[in-house]
Amino acid sequence: MVFLDVLPLVVVMVAGPQILTPIFLALSNDWRRNSLGYIAGAAISITLVVTTAYIFGIGAIGQGASNTMLSVVILIVLIFAMIHTYRTRNKAEPPQWMGKLDAATPKTSFRLGFLLLGFFPTDILTSIAVGSYLAANGAPWTYSLPFISLTIFVLSIPFLFLLLFSKRAERALPIVRDWMHTHSWIVNEVVILFFIFLIMGNLLG
């Protein structure tokens, strides 16, 4: 089904600061409320961007744009996402603001979730690609819900892990955080490339 095609892009949505931030928040002072605030902000922004892209995609088709034209636009968006991921791959240290997340507030956490998942370059490009892809394939908007839900679930894992395993999670999360910071760009590139091949297959098929 069409909604299965976009699920691999969940990896692109969460890899990088997007998953590092909830790990930091899970280790913060007010970790429960901070984590929930971050997840809520992310859920709203992802839904907003995907829905907007879907509506514009449907509107473009209604105005006479072909599915092929929309697919080409999606390809361009994904290529920009690949370029951005590659150019930022060698950032050796997390952003300075991450070091201050131990004293974050729920309000700050909500704002971070909203901005990172809605307007971070790779995320906004990915969400646009998802909404546009569903529109180009004539899928209903509800097909975006598995993508949105899975993204939110992955962002919730640090919170759930700490909730369930407490001290073990406190020891494990920093290790996971460091690995993700070093290797996430490679995973991103592989997934984006996979989706590009998928769209090219649809165009040539």
Residue 39 domain boundaries:
2-204
Mean pLDDT in residue range 124-146 = 91
Task: Give the tens place of pLDDT for each residue, 22-53.
Answer: 888 887 888 899 999 999 999 999 999 999 99
Q: Per the confidence metrics, is the pTM higher than 0.85?
A: no
What pLDDT band is residue 96 in, cutting at 50, 70 and 90? low
> How many helices (H) does the chain have, and how many strands (E)?
9, 0
Q: Could you give the residue ranges of the DSSP H alpha helices within 8-105?
A: 9-14, 17-26, 31-62, 67-87
Alpha-carbon gap, residue 45 to 51, rounded angstroms? 10
Q: How far apart are the first and last CA of the chain?
A: 17
Cβ neighbours of residue 46 closer than 8 Å, sequence gap 6 or more? 13, 117, 118, 123, 127, 148, 151, 152
Cα distances (angstroms) measured from residue 123 to each of 142, 173, 193: 20, 23, 15
What is the model's pLDDT at position 71? 73
Alpha-carbon gap, residue 141 to 160, rounded angstroms? 28
Total domains, the chain? 1
Alpha-carbon gap, residue 147 to 4, rounded angstroms? 8
